[in-house]
Structure 1
Amino acid sequence: MFLLLVILASFLIDCSRATGLEKFDHPIKVNGNLKFLVVGDWGRKGDYNQSAVALQMGKIGEELDIDFVVSTGDNFYTNGLTGEHDPNFLESFTNVYKAKSLQNQWYTVLGNHDYRGDVEAQLSPYLRKIDSRWICLRSFIINAEFAEIFMVDTTPFVKEYFVETKHTYDWRNVMPQKTYTENVLKDLENALSESRAKWKIVVGHHAIRSVGHHGDTNELVERLLPILRAYDVDLYINGHDHCLEHISDTESPIQFLTSGAGSKAWRGDVKGLNSEDVKFFYDGQGFMSVQLTPTHVEIEYYDVFGKAVHKWSRTKQLHHTVI
């Protein structure tokens, strides 16, 4: 009986781990700063100014001495990867982001274009053997001591992709959709509730708020946003719209930050710019940087020439427990 109980307990622990979010510990530098770049919607074999953006990322990355890079998805156009040996991985990633400062870890989520290809190939550890920088999972956590970044797989939330007939999506390990998305939200909520990080950042491919081509993602407004508000998330970062933008939440301190301008941009495709909560919109190519200390965050956007086009910062006070 005792042995049976031990086996059962072990099984329950394993199940718990299987349903939780994998965590990657990323140590911060001795000076106590954490710095990273964010780029999205980029994988076009260097075309559509992808190489030009990569060049400026390398320069800014060196100047800031970044710790890693975050990708907001749509990593390989037009239809993801065809398999583990697809040359598009080298042609759109390894051979483009060659700067020394970009040889740090790349933490990556999937976008809707990635789901049009072989998703399992893009998630495969085999790609890390080709390029050790590459870490791509459906949903996971980057733990950097005073900051935690929660990477969320948002594509399965969008109902449109399950009814359209124009494209074929790789829904392996996602169906049934309702169960999958409920588990994603449950795992995220559990992780946020347990987090003691000073800064909580959530990253997904799809926008919660956007004045770009796709606009707000209603499914995320209804299902994800209440969780972010409830657990005091500071930043929600996304791609999907091929632009750079900054929108403030009207009901909480959350800042919605779009960095989806890694290659092809959509000039003039914008709506709703007169709203007071829209702090910045740029319809050209570029990327973004995030600089953090335990008490301060600074966001900066750069265009395809490396010029800073928008900056925002916020300071928090450290609260000490009184005994």
Structure 2
Amino acid sequence: MASALALVSSSLFLTFLSSSSSSSSAELLRFEHPTKHDGSLSLIVVGDWGRKGECNQSQVAKQTAWPESKTRPSRSPSPTSTRPRVFRSNVLGNHDYRGDVLAQLSPVLRKIDSRWLCLRSFILQTEIADFFFVDTTPFVLKYWRRPKDHHYDWREVSPRNQYINTLLQDLDGALKESIAPWKFVVGHHTMRSVSKHGDTEELLEKLLPVLKEHGVDIYINGHDHCLEHISSKDSSIQYLTSGGGSNAWRGTYTPNDDELQFFYDGQGFMAMEVMAASVKIKFYDVFGQVQRAEFNKALRYVYQAKNREMRISRVEEKEKGRNAEDRQIGRVRR
């Protein structure tokens, strides 16, 4: 599974919730995940790790072995401590579609290891955040029209337009229903990136408007083999890339229109501490050294306030325009 993106949580268990048949997001299976005793969530995000142990893949894996210590350094376990149970929620990437997709989605894998969760698209619900996992590979047109020497397994996906439209409708309904303080969307492909793959135009055109409409806070992805944080200039969305699970050092940098906060062109992973009113993000390199740590405080509410001011301004401008038109019409009539 070379290009899958995993969110690894150190909470204790994951329970399944069946979807209501009357729900507008009935096609997206929902799972429930508890917060820790203090009401927070600790996550490790690793992408693009599959190199059979090469390209420092094993070294990155070693650094992620203790999720709790990565998000709370003061509580690092001793070598004799019992390792916490770790649950892995995965989303498919483009390399996964070049193999047997149905084998990777098989429920047999969960019978082998109940901590493993991999579906095309699904929702992971917690008390303080909802995670919306989105299957982004079918969005990318070149995989359909110009696959080169690759064979993509489009079973249960083709026809493309119907699949994407249904997925976007389900996601739109699920985001609309969400009452969680935080909304995170997870997909393999980049939305915004300054590295080799850059922006994914199909996602900017089709997926991004849905995220903006419902005030999504963070879009998390892999695909580009690096670590990145980019802030949107016209919304509250933060774009976080964690694709440094193995092969990296592409040597490519192409700026885009949004605001680059951090870029590390090497191997590593991302750790997140999610609380009700804030999110703490740390990027680690292959040696476990912190390359960047930041604390984002409820960015959504700042942008909502700005948007309200903008809407008020537009209404006032329209009213002024109408009054001016009325005065002009009055002059003409006289």
TM-score bucket (shorter structure):
0.7 to 0.9
User: Offset at 1:130?
Assistant: 2.4
Q: Distance in 2 between matches of 1:276 and 1:159?
A: 24
Q: Distance in 1 between matches of 2:136 and 2:243?
A: 15
User: 3-state DSSP class of the match of 1:178?
Assistant: helix
| Native 8 Å contact 1:208 1:221 kept in 2 | yes
Task: State which of 244, 247, 250 in structure 2 corresponds to 1:264.
Answer: 247
1:75-113: CA deviation from partner (whole Å, max 9, x where unpaired): xxxxxxxxxxxxxxxxxxxxxxxx975741100000000
Q: Distance in 2 between matches of 1:102 and 1:281?
A: 31
TM-score (norm 2): 0.77
Q: Distance in 2 between matches of 1:301 and 1:61?
A: 15
Give ranges in structure 1 of 5+ residues lacking alignment: 1-12, 67-98
The aligned counterpart of 2:297 is 315
Q: How does 1:19-168 map to 2 (within 5 A)?
A: 19-64=26-71, 101=83, 103-164=85-146, 165-168=148-151
Task: State which of 199, 202, 208 in structure 1 corresponds to 2:185.
Answer: 202
The aligned counterpart of 1:217 is 200
| Native 8 Å contact 1:288 1:300 kept in 2 | yes
Change (3 A) 1:101 1:231: farther
User: Offset at 1:315?
Assistant: 1.9
Change (3 A) 1:103 1:45: farther
Change (3 A) 1:101 1:282: farther
Change (3 A) 1:249 1:59: same
Change (3 A) 1:101 1:141: farther
The aligned counterpart of 2:231 is 248
Q: Distance in 1 between matches of 2:144 and 2:213?
A: 29
Verify: 1:278 aligned to 2:285, yes or no.
no
User: Offset at 1:65?
Assistant: 6.7
Change (3 A) 1:63 1:145: same
Change (3 A) 1:189 1:17: closer
User: Offset at 1:131?
Assistant: 2.3
User: Offset at 1:61?
Assistant: 3.7
Q: Distance in 2 between matches of 1:253 and 1:17?
A: 25
Verify: 1:176 aligned to 2:150, yes or no.
no
Identity over aligned pairs, percent: 53
Larger Rg: 2
Size of the aligned set, in residue pairs, is 274
Q: Distance in 1 between matches of 2:85 and 2:268?
A: 19
User: Offset at 1:63?
Assistant: 4.6
| Native 8 Å contact 1:145 1:197 kept in 2 | yes
TM-score (norm 1): 0.80
User: Offset at 1:18?
Assistant: 8.5
Change (3 A) 1:65 1:308: closer
Q: Distance in 2 between matches of 1:20 and 1:258?
A: 27
| Native 8 Å contact 1:58 1:102 kept in 2 | no
1:17-76: CA deviation from partner (whole Å, max 9, x where unpaired): 88521111001112111111100001122211111001111145445379xxxxxxxxxx
User: Offset at 1:193?
Assistant: 0.2
Q: State the AA in 2 paired with 1:225.
A: L
Q: State the AA in 2 paired with 1:287.
A: F
Q: Distance in 2 between matches of 1:229 and 1:56?
A: 34
| Native 8 Å contact 1:60 1:306 kept in 2 | no
Q: State the AA in 2 paired with 1:33.
A: S
Q: Distance in 2 between matches of 1:228 and 1:201?
A: 9
Taking only aligned residues, the RMSD between alpha carbons, in angstroms, comes to 2.3
| Native 8 Å contact 1:234 1:254 kept in 2 | yes
Q: State the AA in 1 paired with 2:39.
A: G
Q: Distance in 2 between matches of 1:136 and 1:59?
A: 22
Give ranges in structure 2 of 5+ residues lacking alignment: 1-19, 74-80, 302-334
